[in-house]
Structure 1
Amino acid sequence: MHPVDWFIIALYLGWIIWTGVQHTRGSKEIEGYFLGHRSNPWWAVGLSVMATQLSAITMVGTTGQGYMDGLRFVQFYFGLPLAMVILSVTAVPFFHRAKVYTAYEYLERRFDVKTRTLTSALFLLSRGLSCGTIISAPAVILSIIMGWNLTLTVLLIGIPTAIYTMLGGVQAVTWTDVKQMYIIIFGLMAVAIALVLGLPGDVSVGDALRVAGATGRMQAFDFRFTLSETYTFWSGLIGGLFLMLSYFGCDQSQVQRYLTARSEDEASSSLYMSAYWKIPLQVLVLLIGVLVFVFYLFNEPPMLFNPVHEARVKQSALAGRYADAEQRFSAAFATRRVAARALASADDAPARASAETTFLDSDAALRAVRKDATALVQEVTGDRTYRDVNYVFPTFVTTHLPIGLIGIVLAAIMAAAMSSIAAELNALATTTVIDFYRRLLKPDAPDAHYLTVSRIATGAWGVFTCIVALFATNLGSLIEVVNRFGSFFYGSILGVFMLAMLTRRASGTGAFVGLIGGMTLVGSVAVLRPDISFLWHNVIGAFGVVVVGLLVSLVVPVTPPASDSIA
């Protein structure tokens, strides 16, 4: 990589760190450190929430998803606007009036300490796993650029971020996110322009997208109702609704954001920002992935996007078979490029239909060669789950973007990742200290003591998430991995809050047993019915907790707590 790109990355990261340090004032008290004295404006909270979502996971995993599957992943977010409206009139007033540090404090007021503790523990496990996946995204990029060991790159990203989070607080995270949001959008738009300019002079954007549409990549809607397909209109609207309700309404990493807002109205406005802008931004990211696919129709891509695994195969006993596959791949690409040009220039329906058939046949032939090459990697490495979807976008950035723009895009990815990681670690530390340490071990210590413990907890979670990151890159599309982790827990956690907020008949024992029952049900479905998409786990878990919780509450009725509502 050119020294100019390194200078841009260093300059930007230095600027971000300086910004974070500037906003650590006022973090000497526990409320300032965790909630920023509840003083942030709605637009800053909204941008912070969106910056966390538009992390390196989005820029690496979602673009790779768009490259492989097209726009259909956007259906995953169809339930988000409705979720934002529901949460604005339910969760936001509940938590703001409660003056809590974590969402799970409310569960003790409504139920009991065991329900609060179990729910907090499930959050810590799910968010710890997801945070590890967030670290793995930029680690993939550095491992490609520098040829470094993946373990080293994970530590280089995770450890400094953990140290930065230990020193800062939620204010530093929020205002850093605000600046990063602008950089992320600029980087995405710059890549989109570079992709368009990289098309052949005689192929327009419309023609290129028509070729992509022939493969189904421009299809954004699938109205089939099936539990086995992850990305359909109905799975996104129903399963996605339950996932988003849990993520934004019950996940401390998000609840903590709008608890920093100055008022209920401003907290609600921050959620509406995501409701309005999340889907258009997601379409932009996926469209960039589609444009990368189109770019590689006319510019030969690598047969494998992960050079480390490619090198291992070339140094193995299967090197001869791999060399033969490379020759077949180059020939198949040349055939597909001709077919793509013919389809792009076809000007009437009969010619377009004939050209489309030829193109799809050549595309299938190219994919068959890639499949053979992937099988060789799996045979050499012993990893039967190997996919290189997460390496597509980084490969394009580092091999085809001009000097300077590479640095800008990588700086945006790195900074977005570090900000997202910092936010997650801050939420993990908050829950660890408030829901476990202060509640169960040392309830009467001064703020200075809790801040010290918070920093220790942040460091411990940083180590844990680095370990998770080492395994996450081989689990498939990173954007799918992080949502698969979350969906295993989110529905059941949402079910507990549904019991708490929607009915007075649920008892503490009912909620506790219901939570265990919901998790057991989701685990059973995941093992016994792997054909059911993970998005439906959110629905299954939520209703499982509610049904089991209400049934147990009939046997063990409610014992009125000191207060079962929030004034």
Structure 2
Amino acid sequence: MGLGLAMSFGYWCTDFLVVQRAMIARNIAASQKTPIIAAVPKMLMPFIVIFPGLIAVALPYFTEGYSLPTGANGGPDYNMALPSLLSHYYPEGLLGIGLTALLASFMSGMAGNVTAFNTVWTFDIYQPYFVKNASDRHYLIVGKVTTIVGVLASIGVTYLAASFNNINDFLQVVFSFVNAPLFATFLLGMFWKRATGHGAFAGLLAGTLAAAAVHGLTIAEGKGGWITVVHEFGSGLSHAFNMAWIAFSVNLIVTVLVSLVTKPKKDEEMKGLVYSLTPKVWASEGPWYSRPLTLAVAVCLACLALNFIFA
């Protein structure tokens, strides 16, 4: 439940970068295809991430003159697996191109996340709740300052990430705090018209606090247990996945309970926001093999096949 529901759906359905690209599509068909097409390279990403590491570990046993760089602890620095492979196999000209492409991919993702951060803060939080009727110049300055703060915060977080065995473990912990409870809020908000704003806020707060409590009361690979240790998980991923499903479940329960005792909005105000009150539009133009439903089924089958093969 932690990975298959809370974390996976939480990423695809609440990630600003994915949703943003779907919202700027030229029509409904392109909008529906956006996450489906994006799922194809995402399914191949484990090959790109895992294979270079496996090659870098095995290569010293088969090739003379190659070894992984040494880390601060005196052991192999696995974070440098891909750069070390590039420097070993690429000639000087191609090495520059390869490193440039690697840095460009990192910067592209970072730029998208920084843009998402300043947009959400400026237009979804600052403008509605703090300064409602300021000039465009004022909001532009706020956005620029938010960008600087976001970059500085991300630099600070890298020191925290460095304490984890790998970046994937750290990301799963972050997602369990943020994406898992947020997905529960999205889910109820889209499919249950009785959900209220007070319920959503209370549920989101409770879910995040639940994740923090689990992290503080349990430990895995030396991480967590900052309150006290009542249970030890075998791996960091198991730790994060359990935090995710607990945060998701707590959010659902609290949102439902608070929504039932607070006043809901009228149906007229919920049109276009709740699935049951929104006119259904299905893209049906074009050949059958290019329609969103066909592509979605194909991607699901491919994902199931990969999981079956590599399970």
Q: Give 1:470 shift.
A: 3.7
Deviations 1:473-492 (A, max 9, x none): 33221233223212222111
Aligned length: 256
Worse-matched range after superposition: 402-411 or 295-304? 295-304
Listed as ranges, the gaps of 5+ residues in structure 1 are 1-234, 311-372, 375-386
Q: Residue type matched to 1:538 in 2? A: A
Deviations 1:361-403 (A, max 9, x none): xxxxxxxxxxxx55xxxxxxxxxxxx83212222332344322
Decide whether aligned partners of structure 1 residues 525 and 474 sit closer, same or farther in structure 2, where only a CA change above 3 A counts. closer
Give TM-score, length-normalised by structure 1: 0.41
Name the structure with the higher helix share: 1
Decide whether aligned partners of structure 1 residues 460 and 522 sit closer, same or farther in structure 2, where only a CA change above 3 A counts. closer
Structure 2 CA distance for aligned equivalents of residues 556 and 429 of structure 1: 31
The match for 2:201 is: 512
From 274, 292, 298, the equivalent of 2:38 is 274
Structure 1 CA distance for aligned equivalents of residues 90 and 151 of structure 2: 33
Say whether the 8 Å CA contact 2:14–2:183 is kept in structure 1.
yes
Q: Residue type matched to 1:395 in 2? A: S
Decide whether aligned partners of structure 1 residues 281 and 521 sit closer, same or farther in structure 2, where only a CA change above 3 A counts. closer
2:249 paired with 1:540 = no
2:82 paired with 1:393 = yes
The match for 2:166 is: 477
From 104, 117, 121, the equivalent of 1:428 is 117
Structure 2 CA distance for aligned equivalents of residues 284 and 250 of structure 1: 24
Decide whether aligned partners of structure 1 residues 265 and 425 sit closer, same or farther in structure 2, where only a CA change above 3 A counts. same
2:235 paired with 1:529 = no
Deviations 1:272-328 (A, max 9, x none): 112233213432442232222332221358777336x27xxxxxxxxxxxxxxxxxx
The match for 2:144 is: 455
From 220, 244, 248, the equivalent of 2:8 is 244
Decide whether aligned partners of structure 1 residues 301 and 424 sit closer, same or farther in structure 2, where only a CA change above 3 A counts. farther
CA RMSD, Structure 1 to Structure 2 (Å): 2.7
2:53 paired with 1:289 = yes
1:494-505 alignment, distance < 5 Å: 494-505=183-194
Structure 2 CA distance for aligned equivalents of residues 545 and 257 of structure 1: 27
Structure 2 CA distance for aligned equivalents of residues 443 and 556 of structure 1: 26
Q: Residue type matched to 1:276 in 2? A: V
The match for 2:223 is: none
Q: Give 1:269 shift.
A: 1.0
Structure 2 CA distance for aligned equivalents of residues 484 and 406 of structure 1: 34
Q: Give 1:263 shift.
A: 2.2
Q: Residue type matched to 1:405 in 2? A: L
Decide whether aligned partners of structure 1 residues 301 and 540 sit closer, same or farther in structure 2, where only a CA change above 3 A counts. farther
The match for 2:255 is: 549
2:72 paired with 1:417 = no
Identity %: 26
Q: Give 1:435 shift.
A: 1.4
Q: Which has the larger radius of gyration?
A: 1
SS in 1 for 2:269: coil
Listed as ranges, the gaps of 5+ residues in structure 2 are 220-232, 273-277, 279-311
